[in-house]
């Protein structure tokens, strides 16, 4: 069996019982369960949520997205072998540590299969919470052009590319298009300041102003926990994105939790420690794929310039990447997952059939 056969590219066509349309994102698909199935599972499995909480099945795919496009390979390879399993395994590992060390819970209630989460509906905080420990990427590009203020924070002079910052920076941006916030453009993914959040906390879905402190505390604690664990593996945690939301537990208490994914090669930059000490950056994250795309195509401006989105989408649609490129990305993802979890990642020969069987036999969610 070839590696292409093990790829789960289409994940929105599973016969899971639902009375809502399947929401299919870049990488994950979400199946909202019927009210009856949600109530039944909460009672049967003893999930710590209110009895009428809406639940969903979240299925991760092996698709790879970069520069807001989905990329594919030659020979029918519609994703990266092992990528979905690697992302879920890494997130599961960190979420478990967060919970054990008293940081906060996540939206995940159950893990029926390596590619599947059962999640509770959360009220999302409308912030992409980005933490930076090193100056690189878009921040370095802006800094090298003379910018010294990022999200309302003044940055020191004289920094070098890829240097460790004097302190951990929180540089948030909007999640989705938010309206009616003074000084914040009504576009997705625009940088904001702490003052913007404080003065308009309700627009960002915070319950009260005090929760801004809690969100920042969970950000820093989560970042430091992952950073310390990675440094023990001689890996450098460079920057990452966190997302948060509110859920209500079985006792009716509303609480702030981590959601989406954490500390993965998709949401973070992770560098190889020995190489970094030798003055060379070796990525153990999706950044290596982004860099590869920038060198693979003759006009990298198409990938970097948001005004050329039509050309960029055509580039992704009309160009199959060499198989060795996607296999190299697979090696990166699987390698860092096994390093972080300390376990071998077993890739399913037929993930779709496995998922359907488990959801049918153990959860009674397939007719």
Which pLDDT belongs to residue 343? 96
Written as six digits, the tokens of 291 are 């860099």
The whole-angstrom separation of Cα 58 and Cα 108 is: 9
Which pLDDT belongs to residue 86? 97
The whole-angstrom separation of Cα 143 and Cα 164 is: 14
- Residue 8's Cβ-count burial label (10 Å; 0-12, 13-18, 19+) is buried
Residue 352 has pLDDT above 80, yes or no: yes
In the numeric block, the tokens 């599973």 are attached to 14
Mean pLDDT of 240-268: 95
Give backbone dihedrals phi and psi of 232, rounded to 5 degrees, phi first: -65, -25
Which residues, in sequence order, are bridge partners of residue 243?
Answer: 259
Residue 245 has pLDDT above 70, yes or no: yes
Residue 67 has pLDDT above 60, yes or no: yes
Instruction: Note whether 33 and 18 are within 8 A (CB).
Output: yes
Give backbone dihedrals phi and psi of 119, rounded to 5 degrees, phi first: -125, 160
Mean pLDDT of 73-92: 95
163-217 per-position pLDDT tens digit: 999 999 999 999 988 888 888 888 888 899 999 999 999 999 999 999 999 999 9
Mean pLDDT of 45-51: 96
Which pLDDT belongs to residue 32? 97
Domains of the chain: 3-122+342-361 (3.30.200.20), 123-277 (3.30.470.20)
pLDDT band per the 50, 70, 90 thresholds, residue 125:
very high
Mean pLDDT of 117-139: 95
Residue 2 has pLDDT above 70, yes or no: no
Instruction: Note whether 133 and 239 are within 8 A (CB).
Output: yes
Which pLDDT belongs to residue 348? 86
Which pLDDT belongs to residue 178? 86
């Amino acid at each position: 069996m070839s590696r292409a056969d093990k790829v789960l590219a289409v994940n929105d066509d599973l016969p899971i019982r639902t009375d809502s349309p399947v929401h299919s994102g870049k990488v994950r698909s979400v199946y909202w369960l019927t009210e009856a199935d949600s109530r039944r599972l909460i009672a049967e499995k003893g999930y710590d949520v209110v009895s009428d909480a809406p639940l969903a099945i979240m299925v991760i795919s092996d698709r790879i997205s970069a520069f807001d496009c989905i990329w594919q390979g030659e020979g029918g390879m519609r994703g990266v072998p092992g990528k979905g399993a690697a992302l879920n395994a890494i997130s599961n590992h960190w979420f478990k540590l967060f919970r054990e060390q008293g940081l906060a819970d996540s939206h995940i209630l159950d893990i029926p299969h390596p590619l599947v989460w059962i999640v509770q509906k959360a009220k999302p905080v409308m912030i992409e919470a980005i933490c930076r420990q090193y100056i690189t990427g878009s921040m370095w590009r802006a800094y090298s052009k003379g910018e010294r203020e990022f999200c309302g924070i003044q940055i020191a002079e004289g920094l070098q590319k890829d240097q460790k910052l004097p302190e951990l920076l929180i540089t948030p941006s909007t999640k989705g298009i938010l309206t009616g916030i003074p000084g914040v453009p009504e576009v997705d993914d625009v940088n904001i300041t702490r003052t913007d959040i404080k003065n308009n906390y309700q627009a960002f879905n915070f319950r009260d102003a005090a929760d801004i402190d809690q969100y920042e505390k969970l950000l820093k604690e989560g970042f430091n926990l992952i950073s310390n664990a990675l440094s023990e593996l001689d890996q450098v945690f460079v920057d990452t994105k966190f997302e948060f939301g509110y859920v209500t537990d079985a006792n009716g208490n509303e609480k702030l939790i981590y959601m989406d994914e954490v500390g993965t090669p998709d949401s973070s930059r992770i560098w190889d420690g020995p190489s970094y000490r030798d003055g060379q950056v070796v990525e153990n994250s999706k950044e290596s794929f982004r860099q590869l795309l920038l060198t693979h195509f003759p006009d990298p401006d198409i990938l970097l310039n948001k005004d050329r989105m039509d050309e960029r989408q055509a580039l992704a649609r009309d160009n199959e990447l060499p198989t060795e490129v996607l296999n190299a990305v697979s090696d990166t993802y699987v390698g860092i997952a096994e390093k972080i979890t300390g376990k071998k990642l077993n890739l399913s020969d037929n993930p779709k059939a496995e998922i359907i069987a488990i959801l049918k036999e153990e959860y009674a969610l397939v007719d």
